[in-house]
Amino acid sequence: MNPMTLMKLAGLGKKFRSTHPKIVSFFQKQIATGIPDGTILEMTIRKPGEEPVTANMRVTESDLELLRELKNLNG
């Protein structure tokens, strides 16, 4: 990957962490305790002036494999 792209991503990640510390903390705590196969993740989007929309997914072993590979990229 292009070093300039990596630097840009690092800066965007730092900004995201400073803008949304509760979300970052939430995910860090949940990931630290492990997300086993079969866990259900749910997300709700609430846009101004619109009804909320919710979706969920059941975590599979292939999802966990993808996350492990992404973690390995990060070092």
Would the pLDDT of 11 be above 90?
A: yes
To 5 degrees, how large is the angle CA 52–CA 19–CA 21?
85
Q: How much is the pTM?
A: 0.65
pLDDT at 34: 86
pLDDT in tens, 29-39: 988 888 899 99
CA distance 10 to 67: 18
pLDDT in tens, 12-52: 999 999 999 999 999 889 888 888 999 999 999 999 999 99
Least Cα distance to 40 among 29, 51, 53, 54 occurs for 54
CA distance 10 to 12: 5
